[in-house]
Amino acid sequence: MNIFNSSKAYETSHDFPPSLFALLRATADKLAYLLLFMKLLMISGDRSILRGKRCAFWYTLQELRQHWDRIDIICPHVRRVETGVEERNFVPVRDGGGEVHFHPSPHGLWYQPLWIVREGKKLWKEQHHDVMTVHEYPPFYNGVGARWLSRVTGLPYVLEVHHIVGYPHASSVGEWIGCLLSRLLLPLHARLAPGVRVVNEAVREILLSWGARPEKVRVVPSFYLDRALLTKNVRPPISYDISFCGRLVRNKQLAALITAVSDIPEVRLLVIGDGPERKRCEQLAKTLGMGERVTFLGWLPTAEDVVGAVLTARIFVMNSLSEGGPRSALEAMGMGMPVIATPVGVMPEVIEDGVNGIFTDGSKGDLRRKIMRLIADDAARERLGAEARKILDRFDRVFLIRQYAEFLKSVAAPRP
């Protein structure tokens, strides 16, 4: 029986007031929505979409919404001057898939755990979500709020740990404190959560060594590679020797890369991305007399723009002290770029040194030597790039996001 239309036939055969049938039909529609549709509640710190940026989170949601009828995202405060969309609750463009609604806090971060409980409880009463997923990182307000929300609603949740801040090397006192807090709080939060998602084996091993239960922790990579985008046959002309892509923060060690390149005559570096370290790195390049050899592009609006820019260089370098991925290096490999990378995040799992990439210890001297060797060897670059591209089979976006959705649904509350 079609519960959306059944009240019409029933109304014609029974002498009841029309208002009663309107109420019954509205109730039936509401019950159908609650019982038949899958709904996900996300607790996230990512506000990039609300700031008008089409970044990795935007592309992830486009695919994830194919597996859910509605996704609600609770996130921190976004200043009105930063808001890049007309409405904060909106459906990302593209046909098909469920609705996506953002719920930014009107308060500062100090209030975030309470906002998660307050807004989450209201949303749960309206939507009866099946499961909640929580992106956890210092200062851990997401995990605190989500645990509290789960206790008052009974909503099961998955704790997501994408990266241990400051591990294996901290780039600042703040990261050192973040690593210490992670050591103290993550084991407790992981034990309390019904399920824990990590994005690489390194994070899983760390959590297990800190006391997390193995049966709860699942490796589900978040490095979603768009095969169609990364394998386009049209390649731009080479204008640079090295490309770098990422948020410009101290952890990325861009300053060390600039210093290493300064000692290699005529080598040109392209920097894609923005962040608090940009001005310092721009000044360093000028001080080293590299103003004409280093180009800072800033933030690029689309994935297509980023891919096009990365491909204007001969090699890609990732020099981070710590990472969850990084996605940028994996995307460069998917493009067929030869990559020089530090052995952090997922890199030890995907790079076989000298076969599909080259490891560096991140020091200026080691970077310089390996960059010079690779730039001078056309055959090596071609061989490394061809092998690197094979990771597309492992990190295909459609496959991994389906795996992610299935994991979340495995933790979801049973349907009545």
Instruction: Please report the pLDDT score of residue 21 as a whole number.
Output: 55
274 with 138, same domain? no
Single pTM value for the model: 0.82
81, pLDDT greater than 70:
no
Task: Give domain status of residue 191, yes or no.
Answer: yes
Q: Is the pLDDT of residue 335 over 70?
A: yes
Average pLDDT score over residue span 88-92 = 48
What is the average per-residue pLDDT within 315-335? Answer: 94
Co-location of 239 and 298 in the same domain: yes
Structural domains counted in the chain: 2
Does residue 75 carry a pLDDT above 60?
Answer: yes
* Higher per-residue confidence, 45 vs 414: 45
Residues 239 and 200 in one domain: no
Residue 326 CA to residue 200 CA, distance in Å, equals: 11
The three-class DSSP label of residue 47 is: coil
Of the candidate ranges 20-24, 213-217, 290-294, the one whose mean pLDDT is the lowest: 20-24
328 and 354 assigned to the same domain: yes
Average pLDDT over residues 104-113: 93
Range of the domain at 270: 227-394
User: Does any domain span residue 145?
Assistant: yes
321 lies in the same domain as 198 = no
Rounded distance between C-alpha atoms, residue 349 and residue 363, angstroms: 22
CA–CA distance, 29 with 32 (Å, rounded to integer): 5
CA distance 281 to 11: 73
Q: How far apart are CA 340 and CA 319, in angstroms?
A: 8
pLDDT digits (tens, 9 = 90+) for 166-200: 888 888 899 899 999 999 999 989 999 999 999 99
85-99, 380-394, 396-410, range with the lowest pLDDT: 85-99
Same domain, residue pair 97 and 160? yes
Query: 35 pLDDT exceeds 60?
Result: no
> Worst-scoring range by mean pLDDT, 85-94, 162-171, 192-201, 288-297?
85-94
Q: Are residue 270 and residue 384 in the same domain, yes or no?
A: yes
Percent of the chain with pLDDT over 70: 87
Question: What does the pLDDT look like over 220-263, one tens digit per residue?
Answer: 999 999 999 999 877 888 999 999 999 999 999 999 999 999 99
Q: Which amino acid is at 373?
A: R
Q: Are residues 117 and 186 located together in one domain of the fold? A: yes
